[in-house]
Structure 1
Amino acid sequence: MKINLLSLFTKKKIQSDFPIGQFSALPKEEGGYPLFLPMEKSDVHAHSAQFMIKPEDLSVIEHLIELFFHGALRINEEKEKIVYHNKTLICYRFTEFGQIIVKVITNDNDFVKCLCDKGLEPPEPESVFPDKDFGNYGSLQGDIAFWWDVYWEPFWKSLNERERNEYLGRSNFSDDIVEFLKFHG
């Protein structure tokens, strides 16, 4: 199920949660994952990310929220907003492809940097698509194309060639998965 956060809030409400005076653009750095994008085109002075995580990483994100926003927050299907020293975070999760997806909107660049520094990784392709034969996918299409574009590619592009090779080396992927990732990456 895909959720459009902006449709869940009125535009004025979400704009008021993120005043322009509390916003600064993220530095243009290479290699950030999760990929946070500015929401300025929607007149929302924050950055957002939507990313797939492994179940054990949910507690890592919750711990960071507690550190930066000084309040315990269990990430669930209900949108939660937490504010601390003029920094705001809206966060929730949902399920897509049988996996946990976390949606974060924030104007706290330090939180974003720390989250990106945690080395989070999405679940492996075979976990997301256990019944797919990746050796038969010469082109991206359908649900695999959507998964690649939205959830996998931001992670894959955040890795340089050495990091990709290290990732593939420590993973127990089939030859078909390795070939698929190399071909499309």
Structure 2
Amino acid sequence: MLVTYGLWFGTLAYLTFAAWAGCYIKKKTEPAIVRLVWWSPIVFIPFYGAPWVAYGFFNVAMGDMSGFAMAVLWVAFSPCIIVVGYVFVVLTILVYRIFFKSVGAGRETFCMSPSSGMRMAGNTELFGKRAESGIDAGNEENFAFYPRKTFLGQQDLFACHVIMMIAESEFEEFCSLVDRLFGHSKISLEQDSVYSNSDGGSLKLNVRREFSGLIIELITNSNTFLEELDVTFKAPPAPWFAFPDMAPIESITSKQGSLEYWWDWIWNPFWQHASDEIRMAYLRKHKASDEWIEYLAGQANDSD
């Protein structure tokens, strides 16, 4: 029974792996957990092999030399474990996608970047109470469509989640804005930063290099800060800046993964709500090729 169920079928290994994984992912963001799901069959292999090795050497210690074979026999089962593992990974991801879309239908969903480093811990203490002259339900309608803003009332937070992108040359201007409203000008990359001011405003942000520039992900309850963002950063970098090796046709045929995220959260909030005059001015300013102009003009007509 031990050999058949505990070792061959990996029951002992799976229970140990599940307990470890449950603890490990507690502080991970949703996209990080999804990435870990894809790696799980590989990560599971050491958990599967350890009981075999322990059982084999136990037999050797008891005088049964066949234990040496048991200690390495698990290697022969590993390919099967990986294949079966990825079957369940695909099923899990499909169920997740279907459930996630059905839950988020008809409303904004709080979504983190696939490579987001921002953690949710501590948000209740920062944004759980409405600040005077702060953000409340419906306030996001008072702001520009870009940068994209999502009110976090469904997380019981009186704040907005914002995703935007800037070129590295604009980072100093962003730091100056944070310094002016929150008194901090030095922002470290790839880690969460939290600032507060005397008006009861709070700002939690994460800045990372991605898409040939900087992705800024932040949560704030400051109306003033959001208004300043709208005035200062009215448009994201162009698609050919974020994806310099991509032809326009590729954005039509393979809009998934990081491209899908960038398009839905960075580009569309600007482009789909820009007037024809703003679109043409943007294309001239960023020196769009004829091919990109043709594609984006078609996309504009479809969105209208």
TM-score in terms of structure 1 length: 0.86
The structural deviation recorded for 1:4 is: 6.3
Paired residues of 2:201 and 2:221 also in contact (CA < 8 A): yes
1:73 matched to which residue of 2? 186
Residue of structure 2 aligned with 1:115, choices 214, 220, 229? 229
1:68-125 Cα offsets, whole Å, 9 max, x none, are 1123332421111011121100112123333310111110001100111013432221
**Distance of 1:74 and 1:46 partners within structure 2:** 21
Counterpart of 2:125, as a letter, is S
Asked if 1:152 is matched to 2:152, the reply is no
Paired residues of 1:18 and 1:107 also in contact (CA < 8 A): yes
1:124 matched to which residue of 2? 238
1:29 matched to which residue of 2? 142
Aligned length: 181
Q: Which has the greater radius of gyration? A: 2
**Alignment CA distance shift 1:34-1:103 (3 Å):** same
Residue of structure 1 aligned with 2:201, choices 74, 87, 101? 87
Residue of structure 1 aligned with 2:124, choices 7, 11, 15? 15
Paired residues of 2:150 and 2:162 also in contact (CA < 8 A): yes
**Alignment CA distance shift 1:27-1:124 (3 Å):** closer
**Alignment CA distance shift 1:68-1:180 (3 Å):** same
Paired residues of 1:62 and 1:74 also in contact (CA < 8 A): yes
2:166 matched to which residue of 1? 53
1:178 matched to which residue of 2? 293
For structure 2, list consecutive stretches of 5 or more residues without a partner in the other structure.
1-113
Q: Secondary structure at the match of 2:162?
A: strand
Structure 1 stretch 28-37 or stretch 170-179: which is displaced more?
28-37
**Distance of 1:24 and 1:167 partners within structure 2:** 31
Paired residues of 2:203 and 2:219 also in contact (CA < 8 A): yes
**Alignment CA distance shift 1:131-1:17 (3 Å):** same
Greater strand proportion? 1
Greater helix proportion? 2
Q: Secondary structure at the match of 1:36?
A: strand
Structure 1 stretch 79-88 or stretch 175-184: which is displaced more?
175-184
2:211 matched to which residue of 1? 97
Paired residues of 1:75 and 1:91 also in contact (CA < 8 A): no
The structural deviation recorded for 1:18 is: 1.2
Paired residues of 1:58 and 1:75 also in contact (CA < 8 A): no
> Could you say which structure has the greater relative contact order, defined with CA pairs below 8 angstroms and 6 or more residues apart?
1
1:8-46 Cα offsets, whole Å, 9 max, x none, are 233xx2111113231323252364421221111111211
**Alignment CA distance shift 1:139-1:182 (3 Å):** farther
RMSD: 2.1
